[in-house]
Structure 1
Amino acid sequence: MIVGIPREIKVREYRVAMTPAGVRALTESGHDIVVECGVGSGSGLEDREYLEAGARTVEGAAEVYAQADLIVKVKEPLPAEYGLLRSGQCLFTYLHLATNTALTSVLLQNRITALAYETVQLHDGSLPLLQPMSEVAGRMAVQIGAHFLQKEQGGKGVLLAGAPGVRPGRVVVLGAGTGGSNAVRIAVGMGADVTVLDIEPSRLALLDEHYGNRIHTLISNSQNIEDEVRHADLVVGAVLIPGARAPHLVTEDLVKQMEPGSVIVDLAVDQGGCVETVRPTTHDEPVRTVHGVLHYGVPNIPGAVSRTSTFALTNSTLAYIRKIADLGVSNALACDAALAKGLNTRDGQIHNRKVASALGLAFSPVTCADSDQG
């Protein structure tokens, strides 16, 4: 199979979909890998390394898309890339289609087989391809929040660790999944006063067992959210429903009750955000101030630590990419139930129920004819 890896064009997106070591693993299996020149420069990876791993380099993304059967990316295609997609091609990347009608329409019109990293799901409910980036984003969220709490950044001038005789900053984490638990880890390490809320008692129990009285755990309901958020210095939104639009747990009215200079970092912005007033921002202009509260809504947070993120992503995605390349898309979907859950569109139809529901479009269950899943 010809696997294509184009450069990412999202603002300040420095990650690349595969390391040279990943390319080598595929070429050793007999596959042809074509990469765009400079593909890994943002992660400190040179074209020479890709060539030595067995890849071919081409000038421009158009050549990659024209040659490849399977396109592997980090972030979803942007409008400038829509015209490069070929009918019948397979695309494997973070898609987040529940909030992207335009891209969904392109995928359907071009009959693209689109597999989303974020909806590949194991039998235990875990998301193996979202997990590494959620870990990175969760850890960065508290660092980012601490930065913007500084007075010179527009924040209220609070040090999360506090000082002798001065109480530490209050951090509220909404969601105790991968992103949320990693945010808790960093916030505790900084010495903050940490409260985490989740609807699953079992998740809270795990954190309580690990951190003991160094954190507060609460069941997530509207009353507890209101009580905690209005007094928070930093709110980290880490709520995820795979494939679906995130629920608005923090309303605009609640944001109005927060103290001016408080900070919100919403990790769920890719799925619409769990804070009503959050909108997507960029690394160039990462913060919007709404009702005196700083809102950080950068969708590609891990892109800022691109080298770490690129290696972590390849570690997780390579086995699935290799399976698709070795077996072909249909056979790979048929023999791997987790990968099959990653199927979002194929042959002009939406095969993810939550994406279809979020966009108000028809859902088509996967049949044997679609992908031999039975």
Structure 2
Amino acid sequence: MYTKKQYRISIVLSWTKRYILIFFLLAIIPVIFYELAEWKWLQLPWLPIGLIGTALAFISGFKNNAAYDRLWEARKIYGGIVNASRTLTTMVNDFITDEFAAKKYLDSDLFKIRKEIIMRHVAWMTALRYSLRKPKEWESSFSNKSDKEFMKSIEVDEYKYSLKEQLEGYLSDAELEEVLSKTNKQTGCLKLQSNHFKKLKISGLIEDFRHMEFKNSIEELFTLQGKAERIKNFPYPRQFATLNIIFVWIFIILIPFGLMNEFENIGDRLMQSHANLITNNFVWLSVPFSMVISWIFMLMERVGDTSENPFDGGMNNGVPITTMSRGIEIDIREMIDDDKQEIPQPYPKTRDSQM
């Protein structure tokens, strides 16, 4: 059995296996010509390469910080959705009464109205996460070969089931048809919710103050939706991302040419006191060291690249919106005392987060 740490290491190595092979070839080919073909001129001083590496570390750090900011903001947005959902459910429980109505309602009738609102709210969350999962051309999960290969091992509901399948049971047939006819389906859900609150006010189940509070709740949900859509639809500036990957590959290609001479000089010095097979072939140690340095810089680049898009459902530490939405649904349906047999079960913890 793997420990959690071993599992994560195996995931990372599997994710970067294509790059590891490339790094090996880039590292060993120059050494073959340098050592076996005696092309001793095939070398570069390490100082300028080291300066490039230092500059690249700052550039990659800037990109990773920006990517993490996008990831953390996305997580805060969904944290806001959690809180807004609970607040809405509390208002649904406490505000919808027959206190101001012209006629009295049975508790079962009031529960039916409350549940209809909550189920429509779940439909909004479902439509929102489907919108956030739509592939964009700049998302590495759908453009990078390693990421696409890894995506095959991840089960994501939004890529497995249609939105219509997921919304059935949460909306009436007429509401479902109306929502699916909209370009922005999550906005369509909130429109239906707003219309329902208006009808409740007209029927006397809520009065003006409570109606305004429900409207404020709708406004907050629109704000959170807009923030999430902004992150989804506006990528990390591509000029920075493109330049960064170009600089990384330039540095990786140059590394072996700088390390060969350094390791050969170390071997020559060691031979003065310890002449043996290792010191005679010390230059070959530049191969594993080149691979390690290349892997570290590329891994930094790839982590930043995948973290830019926190909603794509890939193998990064993105926001697990499928799991979180299911958790919110369970929470708010329990708050209205819905039938426990009808409330769905939580998703496994690793549902949409693999690392």
TM-score over 0.5 (shorter chain): no
Q: Which structure's CA Rg is the greater one?
A: 2
Q: Which has the higher helix share?
A: 2
**TM-score category of the 2 structures, normalised to the smaller one:** under 0.3
Q: Which has the higher strand share?
A: 1
Give the TM-score normalised by the residue count of structure 1: 0.23
Higher relative contact order (CA 8 A, sep 6+): 2
